[in-house]
Each structure stands twice: as structure tokens, then as C-alpha cells.
Amino acid sequence: MTIEWTRQLRRNGLLLAFAVFLVGVALRSDAFLTPGNILEVLRQVSITGMMAIGVTFVVITGRLDLSVGSMLTLLTVIMVDQHNRLGPAPAIALTLGSGLAIGAWNGLLVGFFRLNALIVTLAMLSLLQGLTLYYSGGSNENITNPHTTWFAFFGRGEIAGIPVPVILFLGGAAIAAFVLRRTIFGRSVYAVGGNETTSVFSGIHAPWTVFFAYLISGLTTGIAAIIMGSRVMGAQNTIGQGYELTVLAGIILGGTSLLGGAGGIGRTVVGIAMLGFIQNGLLLLGYPYYVQWLVTWVVIIAVVWIDLAGKRGRIFA
């Protein structure tokens, strides 16, 4: 009985702690769990969440993608700049194509050339930030005539009272969850992350699986850039700075293992939402903004520790 209780506590302890946090903040702030605030939190995390959907595929294969923050910056700058030059539709197509191209390059280096994912995506983070400054000339981009373009719909519009970014985020999550759980490719992602050697002997082409995981990451980051550009109606050269850490924090918080082979899109949605409500709750309670980063750090360390302890069967190494 004690062993089962310990197992359940380790598996659901974070959700229990989060529920206690929600109740505690709700008791001190009447605005916390109102429908309006809930939708606002979901709107705020929709960009991070969209990126996290794609990165979840990468993490389940046992790899990392630290380039998504700089990729978001570059793609948002491209989106806004090309909107002013070509119009919304061509700019959206170019932004998605650029995201796929960057994801394909990451997938080629990590999947087929078998380079270390941490090093490759960390180097790509630096490269993309440099390309952003070169492309923009160091100046920020803004949408011309923001009140007359239909592009604002993606970041500021609503359908039946629900913000469009929330619909895109949850709709994308539903599609990704189906792909991951109900398709051959999804099962290959789990197999490669669980034991790549065994998956190869099972007939799975691991390099292609990793390649397409990074391709999906590039695509979802492109969609996030469209939402970001539409919401802000502009782009700064550092607009995506730090997003890679927030994305990973949400994925880890949801329970997807950094060791690969375990996790899911539903867990990522929960993790991203938990992170959003924690940050929102701290702000409503009047804590300074930097406290969010301190709490995020504590959460990452705690969740990784719990994940490794679960794999090893003991708390301390």
C-alpha cells in the first residue's frame, strides 16, 4: 500500500501541487479563475504552446531543440517585413516555408549526420539571431496600416468569444496528438526515443524519424511566428529571446521525459497551461516579474529530478 501510494504521489505530485496553488491564489484573488482571465492566460501561452507542440516530437525522440527562440524571432521579422512588401498571404507562405527549411536543416544535421542535438541547435540559435540582425539591419519591423489588414485576425481575432490564438493552439495540439498516437510515424517517434538501436532492428528508419520531428518543430514555430506578428503587429530583433527555455519548461512540467520515449501532446498542453497559470497567479498576487523566472527554474530542476528518479528507481544518484 505504501509503495503504491508513493508511486501515485511521484506520478501525480505536480498536479496535486498545482491544484493547491490554484486554490491558494483563487482564495486571494477573485479575478484568478474567472472565464475572462482563463481565456487571457490561454491566449498568452498560445505562442509558447504552439512551439512546444513541435518540440515535443523532438524531445520524445531523445533530442533537444534550443533554436526555437531565435527561430521565432527571425520568422516573425520575416512575416512582418514581407507583409509590408508582398501582402499577408504570400508572407504567411514564406514564413511557414522558412520554418520548414530551418527545421529540415536541423533534422539533416542531427538525424542523418548524427551530430549532437544540443550543440547543433545551440549553434543554430546563435546563427539565426545573427541572420535576424542582418536581415533587419538592426531595426525593428512594424506592420504598415495595422487597422486595415486582415492579418490581425490571427493574433487579435475571436470566434464565438474564444481568441483565435487559443483555437489555433488547441486545434494544432489535437492534430499533433492524433499523429503521435494514431499513426505509424508517431509510433516510430516513441520507438526511436525509447531505444534507437532496437527501433532500427525493427525496421524503423531512425534518421528520417528524427528529421521529420525537427521539420514539425520548424512548422509549429512558423505558425507561432504568424500569431506573434499578428498579435504585436510588429517584430523586435529579440522578440523570441528566452522562449526556448519556457518551451522546454512547459514540456518537462507536463511530464515528457528528457530521456526520450515517453510523453505526449496532451501532457505538453497541461504543462504549458500550468506554467502560464503559475506566472499569471504570481503577477495577480503582486510579486515582481523576476519571481516568475525563479519559480520556473525551481520547477525545471524539480521535474527533471523527479523524472530521473523515476527512471532510476531512486531519489539520489
Residue 57 pLDDT exceeds 80: yes
Does residue 222 lie in a domain region?
A: yes
Residue 3 pLDDT exceeds 60: no
3-state secondary structure of 314: coil
Does residue 146 lie in a domain region?
A: yes
In tens, the pLDDT along 58-93 reads: 999 999 999 999 999 999 999 999 999 999 999 999
CA atoms of 16 and 249, how far apart (whole Å): 18
In tens, the pLDDT along 199-251 reads: 988 899 999 999 999 999 999 999 999 999 999 999 999 999 989 988 998 99
The whole-model pTM stands at 0.92
3-state secondary structure of 176: helix
Domain, as residue range, for 221? 33-241+256-261
Angle value at C-alpha 15, between 45 and 303, nearest 5 degrees: 80
Does residue 296 lie in a domain region?
A: no
Does residue 278 lie in a domain region?
A: no
pLDDT score of 298: 80
In tens, the pLDDT along 88-122 reads: 999 999 999 999 999 999 999 999 999 999 999 99
Does residue 48 lie in a domain region?
A: yes
Does residue 194 lie in a domain region?
A: yes
Does residue 308 lie in a domain region?
A: no
> Which range among 21-25, 45-49, 69-73, 267-271 shows the weakest confidence by mean pLDDT?
21-25
70 phi, psi to nearest 5 deg: -70, -30
pLDDT score of 307: 65
In tens, the pLDDT along 134-172 reads: 999 988 989 988 888 999 999 999 999 999 999 999 999
Does residue 298 lie in a domain region?
A: no
| Domains held by the chain: number | 1
